Structure 1
Amino acid sequence: MAGGWNDDADVIVVGAGPAGSAAAFWCASAGLTVLLLEKASFPRDKVCGDGLTPRAVKELVSMGVPLREGDGWIRNQGLRVIGGGHRLELPWPELSSYPSYGLARSRMSLDHALADHARAAGAKLLERTQVTGPLVDERTGRVVGVTARPVDDAGRRAGDAVEYRAPVVIAADGVSARLGLSLGLEKRMDRPMGVAVRTYFRTPRHDDAWMESHLELWDGAPGRSNLMPGYGWIFALGDGTANVGLGSVSSTPNATKVDYKDLFARWMANAPAEWGFTPENQVGPVQGAALPMGFNRTPLYGRGLMLVGDSGGMVSPFNGEGIAYALQAGRVAADAVVQARSRTTADGRERALATYARTMREDLGGFYTLGRYFVRIIEHPQVMRLCTRYGLPRPLVMRFTLKLLSDCYEPHGGDMVDRVIAGLTRVVPAA
């Protein structure tokens, strides 16, 4: 990849969340010089469920991230699904492509650990560095770097603006996607949008071996109250606390019009006393975040800029999981950058960089299209109620549910459920 004599790095990565840190790690591991820019300072928090499916675990294992319990991880053995009068414990599937366990760890420490892992691989991490926009070559229209400014811990300007240059920029700047927006990449209104709120509670359930998902939320006793439009979760963190939250999804950005903090308060008001989800046990405020889904901002690559993770709308419509796909996108983007580095012509480098968007679309496009169909079905609470009441007890439906909610199916081979899901992802239009 032909850079200028005044370039600061082979690649600039904007944002040190899972997507950005993964991209920085893989690029640095391949010998590239990497500048990783993060507007906050670690440790810093992010609104998230803090649960990682086996798909995410596979990416962490590939990166060589230490996953010992002493490092703050807690393993879980599957999903506990509650809804429609049913309570099912579904172990993670035994597959050749993925491990048979999930993990949980707060984003406060997870993101810090991943950024440190990228730094240990050779990436240069600059914290409290807020990227304000792309540098664009006036002659070619290509992104050749970014403008940035130092900020303090409160986000206030703390110094003069600076320019950083590189032949390619990886935007991992989250749902705000400021770099993409600055180049006119608006979010697609035909893609699902989710919203989630969460907080933490001190609870005796902190070491639960199951990630718990409530497919129905009632604002009072079930059967004598209103069914609320959302789903809830309880993810044990093993440190005396659990991440407790709820989310909802809409086939359009209308999901953001619901008062989810009010829904959360009504759900908690009826939580069993033995859970300990009381105001005095609450740790921190209820916070919310948007969940951009199904490649809601495209193209994923163009003019020297790559969108990874939330900036490219990579949250799964099936379960609201984003970390697994962020890690995957970081790895695939890095591979494209590394391959482009070896090309000897501008056209060759551009073809190599373009493989990123194509690979992501081939791998996830059909899956996300199925997710859009799924959202159209379950976004109506009464339809969701019928599905949970009459569908969950059926073993075949349960197996489909587990593989879709766990993000894990064998793309080649596997059992009948794997083959059906893989076949459907190939015949539907890619997102």
Structure 2
Amino acid sequence: MSQHNLSSSPAASESADVIVVGAGPGGSATAAYLAMAGLDVLLLEKTSFPREKVCGDGLTPRAVRELITLGIPTPEDEGWIKNKGLRIIGGGMRLQLDWPDLSSFPPYGLVRTRQDFDDILAKHAVKHGARLHERVNVTGAVRSDATGHIIGVTAKEMDESGRATGKQLRFDAPLVIAADGNSSRLSLAMDRQKREDRPMGVAVRTYYTSPRHDDDYLESWLELWSKDDEGKDVLLPGYGWIFGVGDGTSNIGLGILNTSSAFGKTDYKDVMKRWVATMPQEWTYNDETMVGDIRGAALPMGFNRQPHYADGLLLVGDAGGMVNPFNGEGIAYAMESGRLAAEVVAQAFARTDDAGRERVLQSYPGVMKDALGGYYTLGRGFAKMIGHPEIMKLAVKYGLPRETMMKYLLKVMANLSEPHGGSAGDRLLNALSRIAPAA
């Protein structure tokens, strides 16, 4: 982005209405919405665009809805690869399920590499007036002596190779938004720790050149095996994926939950290599066609860092543990939390006094719990259940042959139901999400 002069060089000290730390999908969406609302927004990103992120690169209809709402065009001739649904493989079955045709969501998904995707979203935020500073690594919080609230951040400038230049930076704002991912250094600086009672996932992925690069279905493999301490095969709670990127490569990876006793004792890169080795030779997934290393990332799920607002710091995306426990999807929820956060923040800044603004900001945790809390409680139960290999085996053996059940499960796991009316299944999911405690 720097080459297009979209990102300005930071002064040693700057101020704004709102600082957003992290220009991933959550941070860039938040910044774009806030800039549209007329606020002065600083968007700080520790790397420079374009940059790679560990991800499946697959976007469900829920994520596509967020792109449409944000105003991001997704034409196929600009590299957006449409998909019709999900192909599920496991238990000797191969089941192809179309995305549901609903009034509330588009009937298609997309694939776009994070290298492109994050760059596009950051540019969109800048186009609408956000001030983006790349290569700014936020190191800590500046807190008010009087209230303890965060009133700014300290940072260090980085060079193009990722090393600190020695230039120290400070940015001031009455509100700071942490969109700095799973590790969220800013949250830790404000004593906002992760909750250990929430599921955590890990994902590993790489790219292979392959004739399967142009598949119009996302593909999910439900049987991933490892060895236990006694050398016995163990079915892991998670899935492998193959997503065609349309550029001659396939994104291949796997996601595993920590609800299994094998978590932390398993070499996931080795699991992936052994899984890929079982695939047909003509797909050309092998060491010679691998593009880049196998890389891993954590998936913080089910609101694993709370409160989502306190003391001037608001959390969006992975920083607030917004990943869906049912399917490991993060982009849709990062953007959704950014949109909801921006609505609250815009209302807060319309207040003329500090007390009024703070009262509105304190509504944000409730807004997030209303939107996703009950559904995520159901997801945490699901994640815990499939952590037992016996249950996972039964689910694969008896669930996959029942297409009607699997169509409904796809809607549940991808969180695609009509919010009002809809089918009996939609009404059931909505009712369960409402009555489940939004913890």
TM-score of the two chains, using structure 1 as the length reference: 0.95
Q: Distance in 2 between matches of 1:21 and 1:385?
A: 40
Verify the 8 A CA contact 2:260 2:388 in the aligned structure 1: no
Q: How many angstroms does 1:335 deviate by?
A: 1.1
1:288-307 equivalence runs, <5 A: 288-307=296-315
Verify the 8 A CA contact 1:256 1:290 in the aligned structure 2: no
Determine which of 402, 417, 422 is the counterpart of 2:425: 417
Q: Distance in 2 between matches of 1:132 and 1:253?
A: 35
Determine which of 235, 254, 266 is the counterpart of 1:246: 254
Verify the 8 A CA contact 2:235 2:393 in the aligned structure 1: no
* Secondary structure in structure 2 of the residue aligned to 1:49: coil
1:192-341 equivalence runs, <5 A: 192-218=199-225, 226-229=233-236, 230-251=238-259, 255-341=263-349
* Secondary structure in structure 2 of the residue aligned to 1:160: strand
1:174-214 residue CA offsets vs partner (Å, 9 max, x unmatched): 01111111111111010000001000011111110000000
Q: Distance in 2 between matches of 1:163 and 1:403?
A: 45
Q: How many angstroms does 1:153 deviate by?
A: 2.7
Unaligned runs of 5+ in 1: 1-5
Q: Distance in 1 between matches of 2:432 and 2:407?
A: 16
Q: How many angstroms does 1:154 deviate by?
A: 3.1
Q: How many angstroms does 1:238 deviate by?
A: 0.8
1:311-359 residue CA offsets vs partner (Å, 9 max, x unmatched): 0001001110000000001111111111111112222101211222211
Task: Check 1:333–1:253 CA distance in 2 against 1; reply closer, same or farther (3 A cut).
Answer: farther
Aligned residue identity for 1:65: I
Q: Distance in 1 between matches of 2:167 and 2:261?
A: 37
Q: Distance in 1 between matches of 2:68 and 2:118?
A: 16
Matching residue of 1:119: 126
Determine which of 93, 102, 107 is the counterpart of 1:100: 107
1:6-405 equivalence runs, <5 A: 8-218=15-225, 226-229=233-236, 230-251=238-259, 255-405=263-413
Q: Distance in 2 between matches of 1:276 and 1:252?
A: 31
Q: How many angstroms does 1:292 deviate by?
A: 0.3
Question: What is the aligned length?
Answer: 422
* Secondary structure in structure 2 of the residue aligned to 1:161: strand
Unaligned runs of 5+ in 2: 1-12
Determine which of 429, 432, 438 is the counterpart of 1:430: 438
* Secondary structure in structure 1 of the residue aligned to 2:419: coil
Aligned residue identity for 2:114: R
Structure 1 vs Structure 2: percent identity of aligned residues? 57
Q: Which moved more, 1:178-187 or 1:192-201?
A: 178-187
Q: Which moved more, 1:389-398 or 1:167-176?
A: 389-398
Q: After TM superposition, what 4+ stretches of structure 1 lie above 6 angstroms from structure 2?
A: none
Verify the 8 A CA contact 2:226 2:266 in the aligned structure 1: no
Verify the 8 A CA contact 2:80 2:110 in the aligned structure 1: yes
Aligned residue identity for 1:184: D
TM-score of the two chains, using structure 2 as the length reference: 0.93
Task: Check 1:341–1:135 CA distance in 2 against 1; reply closer, same or farther (3 A cut).
Answer: same
Matching residue of 1:3: none
Q: Distance in 2 between matches of 1:250 and 1:420?
A: 28
Q: Distance in 1 between matches of 2:180 and 2:261?
A: 20
* Secondary structure in structure 1 of the residue aligned to 2:342: helix
* Secondary structure in structure 2 of the residue aligned to 1:125: strand
Q: Distance in 2 between matches of 1:251 and 1:412?
A: 33
* Secondary structure in structure 2 of the residue aligned to 1:39: coil
* Secondary structure in structure 1 of the residue aligned to 2:299: strand
Question: Cα RMSD (Å) of the superposition?
Answer: 1.7
